[in-house]
Chains A and B, each alone.
Chain A
Amino acid sequence: MPLLDIRNVTRRFGDFTAVDGVSLAIEAGEFFTLLGPSGCGKTTLLRMIAGFDLPDAGQILLDGVDLAATPPERRPVRTVFQSYALFPHMTVHGNVAFPLQMAGTPARDIPGKVAAALEDVRLTGFDRRYPHELSGGQKQRVAIARALVTHPTMLLLDEPLAALDAKLREELQIELIHLQREAGITFVYVTHDQTEALALSHRIAVMNKGKVEQLDEPSVIYRFPRSRFVADFIGQCNLFSGPIRANAAGAVTLDVEGLGAVKVAAQTALAAGAPASIALRPEQIRIGAGDAAAPADNRYEGTVADLLYMGDVTVYRVNTAGGARVEALLANSQTGRAKFFEPGDRVVVDWPAAAGHFIED
């Protein structure tokens, strides 16, 4: 039995359906992420798990028990808020001790538990500080310590790192992974940041317009997006669409405007003429000067239109002869080379049929 069972949950605000018949099962000890753009319903779903909002239809079961009648203060789940929501009139100690006091923990046990929780988030010695005396990262650590000190069954995190700068975010991501593993507590994490979701999660539910578009492990979601939306939302992606020209022996050929025939390895029941798409990650594309190119399944000539030099990699935007745009990514790891091409250079892009991922529209 899953720890948290969300069954056909729907939540409407007037005419707007924020969460539309979502079903999910989250296992104990999992790091589970709800990923999607703003307005996709992920935060509404999280608030319903926490109890701040109730479903219009469907059920949320924790350990097999329907939570509908349980108010937030009696649910064994804790939330870490994006704004930290630390109590400004209490010290760090007062903040972390608060849930223990609410749970009726004997006063003599509180200091030890608070100290242990602060040690877990590497904030030993900060007990007497007030929230306004802490940095953003420290505040978020206090919020996490406060949520974990009572050892809840489940921790809900609502974009907890969104307000922090990139460097600190990466550091805290690693700490979150460690904390989750060591505490053994189920994390349900809400974010709109796909790299964060890919880095942290055991499983990701990609949400769009109130529905779950795909639920899988990060690598599967990245490599085999089920829809155009998922392909586009997760990482950089070239999306080629058009009617099917041929479908035979595990290879599908699409008629793409600006490119012509594009071949992809796929099994589908779709007949010729049906619309479909191919998702292709920029790093799967080979880009060369076209002099000694090996024969490939898909090969197009073009000109470099723009490039984005990112230090470790460079993203090239190539306009093909037919007028399509292809984004290719090249690692700058080869010695002696910073960039390989300049805007205006004539290049050849190619990729094998197996590199792309076929999506039925």
Chain B
Amino acid sequence: MAADARRHEAARARWLVSGPPLLYLLVFFAAPTLIMVLASFRSPGEFGGLAPLRDDTGALDLNVDAYVRFFTETVYAQVFVKSLVFALVTTLVCLALAYPLAALIARSPKKSRDILLLLVILPFWSNFLIRIYAWMILLGPNAALARAVNGVLGWFGAGPVPLLFSSFAVLVCLVYVHLPFMVLPLYANLEKHDPALLDAAQDLGASAWQRFWRITFPLSLPGVYAGAALVFIPALGIFAIPDLLGGPDDTLIGNLIKQQFLETRDWPFGSVLSIVLTVSALALVGLAAWLGRGATRGAERVGA
């Protein structure tokens, strides 16, 4: 009775707390996704947008034309593969750069840690687009970097190369933008490691290299996976960076989707591209989690 009432109360409190965010996600995430799935089966309108759901005869106008187009015209698959490669390279470069940094922060004295972490997230204080424009200046043909590179190339008789509007520029900026998302989860993981484990490993005969690969790295895998997901997924769908810094060949899946909705105004095909992007991102992250399930066993308990 009294206990039942208390339980009832607790359940209501739970709903009160979790209700608003749940509602928010339903209205602004689940519903639009459903609308998009529906749009992918409709026909494009004559002047953009969508054709009426029922045609002149009154029959439902649903088809898989847009899907057929995606899977038959290889140019789209190529853009897709290119996006995957860019996202993968970005993730690996971020991992290689972030790991030593995260380890350094995790091992520095408690007082300086907060300052170092602040420095990692400092770029977020200025606008995303402004930071990309800054790269346009840094990589521009008259900037010191391009002059130095082309000066060295000139010594070897190689022609000058443009740094801006190239795949190189896109990758550099992708890494720059996503690096903090790799550093933070890695730091959160490495910071929990018990230093006694490394002492024990050393005592048992492990060299510095062996201590890293046998102890530190396997224990950090949950952080590596979290960071990889946080970098890979947004990098896969990004359009602003290739738009501003890429050359004509650097169109990625994100640009393609943007084009379909804003320029070509082919909403059904844009929807198909979005769905393929979402599904493949989910599938890849799921695959990675499945492959890593054995490796992370016990590693979640680092802090225990």
Chain A contacts to B: CB under 8 angstroms: 50, 52, 71-74, 77-79, 81, 83, 85-90, 98-99, 102-103, 130-132, 146-147, 150
Contact = CB atoms under 8 A, between A and B. Distances in A.
B194 A83 contact: yes
A81 B200 contact: yes
A132 B205 contact: no
Contacts of B304: 88, 132
Given A73-B206, A102-B204, A146-B204, A85 B301 contact: no
16 contacts: A72-B199, A72-B203, A77-B203, A81-B196, A81-B199, A83-B194, A85-B197, A85-B199, A88-B197, A88-B299, A89-B219, A90-B298, A98-B201, A102-B205, A102-B206, A103-B205
Contacts of B197: 85, 87-88
A132 B197 CA distance: 15
Interface stretch (B80-88, B129-137, B178-186, B207-215): B207-215
A98 B298 contact: no
A98 B199 CA distance: 14
Given A83-B194, A132-B298, A132-B301, A73 B203 contact: yes
A98 B301 CA distance: 19
Interface of B: 194, 196-197, 199-207, 210, 214-215, 218-219, 295-299, 301-302, 304
A88 B302 CA distance: 7
Main secondary structure of the interface of B (DSSP, over half): helix
Given A50-B203, A89-B295, 20 more contacts: A52-B202, A71-B202, A72-B202, A72-B203, A73-B205, A73-B206, A79-B199, A81-B199, A81-B200, A83-B194, A85-B196, A85-B197, A87-B201, A88-B302, A89-B296, A89-B297, A98-B201, A98-B204, A98-B206, A98-B214
Contact of A79 (B203, B207, B296): B203
Contacts of B200: 79, 81, 85-87
Contacts of A90: 298
Contact of A73 (B202, B215, B295): B202
A88 B221 CA distance: 13
Contacts of B199: 52, 72, 79, 81, 85
A89 B203 contact: no
A130 B302 CA distance: 13
A102 B200 CA distance: 12
B210 A131 contact: no
